[in-house]
Chain A
Amino acid sequence: MMTSNAFTKAEVAAQAQSDQQKLGTAAASCPLMEKEEKYRIEVLVVGEDDEPLGDIAVVLRRASGEELKKVTDDAGHCAFEGLDQAQYELSLVELDADCWTEIKREVLLGDAGKSLEAASWPLPVVIEESKEIVHIIKQGECVSKLAEHYGFIPNTIWHYPKNAELRKKRHDDLYILNPEDEVVIPAKRIKNISITENCKTTLRRIGVPERLRIRFLRYDESPRAGTQYLLSVKSRNGAMIPTINGKTDQGGFVDQCLPPSASHVQIILQQEQHLECCEFNIGYVDPIDTFSGIHSRLNNLGFNYDEDCDESNAIIKSFQASNGLTPTGTPDSSLLLILQKKFGS
């Protein structure tokens, strides 16, 4: 694969080619001698951490109902060109009304607000009304991931009345669901904001990013504070995410913002004599009142369960004994309470 610099140079060379002339012809459209003054509107979409968000659909509608559509680039930016002086409506059509808000608007000064070519307004398309969806949870999914995927704030989905039973069943923990759980996604509400030409608006997407907190302890349970780490993220939607350098805090925590779609994290810790690599599947811990939920928590706490050896009883006894409980080998409410407290969820 080329370096990005090499590909960028090739792209610059491509941009020097004509966008009017067809390949292999000498003909081109006659440029208009006089053009009416046109304007532009710029849009920037950011998350709650003020980092830009790409791949967000933005629609600009004029009074006659026709629409222009754009998608933000990885800098969170898109622009509508060739606009007349008029009042328009702007919307993030893939996001629920509560999920975004305008945080800033500024006038574009001088030529920054001007545009050359007139916009081409396609005929309006009839859009189907948004409907409720029932989503069946797969392993690795949680409400936060669903919210990012469907365009909601997690709490909008979680507190939807039709999810009341699920909330009760899962102890009101929207991050820990079981495969085959059914989550009702409400119908999306569309919001529009009024906007005029020659300005730039900044919109904030609420509910993104999420926060990852993983604590590293020594065998004596003292925190591994001040340890350098390198954190790499893989996202379930395939987005490329920058690797993060950091240091664990006083409590031994790695505490980082991640997109909700993060599915796998790799953390390399720098020790004196070696590098230690840990990998985590995000969102794969099952509810604590399930067999798999108990064992995944015990695993993470160092009580490693091997399915092939069927040491379930022994592992549970070991955990009970080391936490002052009677080593029965059977999960009970006392064990679940301590396990939840030590694991954190």
Chain B
Amino acid sequence: MLQLNQKQTDALMAGQWQAAMRSAIEHCRRYFQAVVAHLTDAELLQHLEHCFARGRAHGFTSQRDAYRFLNLALEFGWDFDTRIRHSWMRKRLLDPRLATPSERLEWLVKRCIHRLQIEEENLNKLRAFAPGEVPVNIYGPNVREDNEYNPVPSILLFENYLPMKHSRCLQADEFISSDVNSKESEHYADDEEQPLLVKKFKRSPRHLQSGMR
């Protein structure tokens, strides 16, 4: 009969955990290289352990759910489920209309994929409609102060077409600014991520002649 004492069991568990973390590190480096490139394995491991612990607190204990939660963290930020900006995601993780944590996570992941697809398509449609135009100073419409659903307009700083996490279309509300509501503002952040807004831009005759794109 095979008998294992506590020390042997602990050693076995530790070995399995280390193997799981190595796989998770590989997963991060393979699918989210731009996000984790600047992290050493030790730093990344710290993030992973923290992330998986938060996943367990949400009820995500299976490997599949843990990895799905990890994907969301890598895409939207390590602490996406605590940030006010992503409060809509937290609400979905706690949605009482779905019975199990797995179901809530699956619904949220599908919703995120859908949103990313639409966001990309919208950007492509805008580029096709207005080729060669680079929105520089963009404001939304005049808003009323008592409207919690339309916060102070966002200023587009620049657009980077590269598919890297921190190089997407950055909007001024991601930086602390006295001109816009703080990103921690409940009124602003209790809203899902907003699409790109364009106020007005003109194409000069010079561009038309040269066919610049």
Contact = CB atoms under 8 A, between A and B. Distances in A.
Contacts of B194: 234
A22 B62 contact: yes
Contacts of B197: 232, 234, 266, 279
Contacts of A138: 146-147
B163 to A, nearest CB: 5
Interface in A30-81: 54, 57, 68-71, 73-74
B71 A24 contact: no
Interface string B180-213: 0000000000011111111111110100100000
Contacts of B133: 275
Nearest to A20: B62
Nearest to B20: A24
Contacts of A21: 62-63
Contacts of A23: 20, 52, 61-63, 66
Contact of A14 (B67, B88, B121): B67
Contact of B13 (A13, A25, A266): A25
Interface residues on chain A, size class: 35 or more
B108 to A, nearest CB: 10
B137 interface: no
B168 to A, nearest CB: 4
Given A1-B165, A71-B97, A73-B107, A240 B68 contact: no
A334 B36 CA distance: 68
B63 A71 contact: no
Contacts of A11: 68, 71, 109, 113
Interface in B65-111: 65-68, 70-71, 74-75, 88, 95, 97-99, 102-103, 107, 109-111
Contacts of B126: 230, 232, 243
A274 B71 CA distance: 42
Contacts of B103: 70
A68 B202 CA distance: 55
B157 interface: no
Contacts of A54: 111, 114
Nearest to B146: A139
A242 B122 contact: yes
Contact of A13 (B31, B61, B113, B121): B31
A216 to B, nearest CB: 15
A38 B121 CA distance: 40
Interface residues on chain B, size class: 35 or more
B43 interface: no
Contacts of B13: 24-25
B163 A3 contact: yes
A240 B109 contact: no
Contacts of B111: 54, 73-74
A238 B192 contact: yes
A277 B39 CA distance: 43
A274 B203 contact: yes
Interface string A1-30: 111101111110111011111111110000
Given A25-B13, A274-B202, A281-B150, A7 B71 contact: yes
B64 A22 contact: no
A110 interface: no
A4 B63 contact: no
A228 B130 CA distance: 11
A240 B141 contact: no
A19 B62 CA distance: 5
Contacts of B110: 73-74
A7 B75 contact: yes
Contacts of B122: 232, 242-243
A253 B46 CA distance: 57
B99 A122 contact: yes
Interface in B13-68: 13, 16-17, 19-21, 27, 30-32, 34, 52, 61-68
A19 B102 CA distance: 9
B118 A264 contact: no
Contacts of B99: 68-69, 120, 122
Nearest to A276: B200
B16 A24 contact: yes
A69 B64 contact: no
B112 A243 contact: no
A342 interface: no
A239 interface: yes
A187 interface: no
Contacts of B62: 17-23
Given A240-B192, A279-B141, A24 B116 contact: no
Q: Which 3 pairs between the two chains have the least Cβ-Cβ distance?
A: A238-B192, A4-B116, A14-B67
Given A17-B62, A73-B110, 5 more contacts: A19-B65, A264-B140, A274-B203, A275-B129, A279-B199
26 contacts: A1-B75, A2-B34, A8-B113, A17-B62, A17-B64, A19-B65, A20-B62, A23-B61, A23-B63, A23-B66, A24-B20, A25-B13, A70-B98, A140-B147, A140-B149, A232-B195, A232-B197, A232-B198, A234-B197, A241-B118, A243-B195, A264-B140, A268-B130, A273-B203, A279-B141, A279-B199
